[in-house]
Structure 1
Amino acid sequence: MSGGRRSDRALAAAEQVARMRGEVMFLMQRPGSCFDFLVSGPTGTSAIRAERALRIHGSPAEIAVTHAAPIARISAATLAPGISRELWFWSPWGTMRYFRVDGTSLIELDMLGVVRAPLVKGALAGAVRPRWRKSRRKSGGPDPLPGPGPGQSPGTGFHHQKPGTPGPSLAPAGSSDREPAPVRYLRRRAREKGQAGNPAGGTGPTA
Structure 2
Amino acid sequence: MTRGRRPTKALTEAVGIACRRGSVENVAGRRGRAFDFIIIEPFRVVFVKVKRSRTSFTFPQDALAKYGREIACLHRVALTRVTAREFWVRSPAGEWQHFLIRHDSVIEVHADGTYIPREVLPLEAGSPAESTADGE
TM-score (norm 2): 0.81
Q: In 2 relative to 1, CA 80–114 (structure 1 residues): closer, same or farther, beyond 3 Å? A: closer
The unaligned stretches of length 5 or more in structure 2 are: none
Deviations 1:16-38 (A, max 9, x none): 11011011111112253111111
**AA in 2 matched with 1:60:** P
Structure 1 pair 45–78 and aligned structure 2 pair: CA distance change class (3 A): closer
- CA shift for structure 1 position 104: 5.9
What amino acid maps onto 1:33 in structure 2? R
How many residues are aligned here?
128
Whole-angstrom CA distance in 1 between matches of 2:88 and 2:14: 7
* Counterpart residue number, 1:169: none
1:54 aligns with 2:34: no
Q: Give unpaired runs (5+ residues) of structure 1.
A: 139-207
CA contact (8 A) 2:55 2:92 kept: no
Query: What is aligned with 1:75?
Result: 75
| SS of equivalent to 1:89 | strand
Alpha-carbon contact 2:77-2:85 (below 8 Å) kept: no
Higher helix fraction (1 or 2): 1
Residues 88 and 97, structure 2, Cα contact 8 Å, conserved in 1:
yes
Q: 1:89 to 1:105 in 2, by over 3 A?
A: same
How far residue 80 of structure 1 moved from its aligned partner, in angstroms, is 7.0
Please give the secondary structure, in 2, of the residue aligned with 1:10: helix
Q: C-alpha offsets along residues 69-126 of structure 1, whole Å, 9 cap, x if unaligned?
A: 11111112357762111100011211000011123631111010001111123xxx03
Aligned to 1:12: 12
SS at match of 2:101: strand
Contact 1:48 1:88 in 2 (8 A): yes
2:86: which partner in 1?
86
Asked if the contact 2:84–2:100 (Cα under 8 Å) also holds between the matched residues in 1, the reply is yes
CA distance in 1, matches of 2:73, 2:65: 14
Q: Secondary structure at the match of 2:75?
A: helix
Change (3 A) 1:90 1:43: farther
Which residue is 2:119 aligned to?
A: 119
> Greater strand percent: which structure?
2
TM-score normalized by the length of structure 1: 0.55
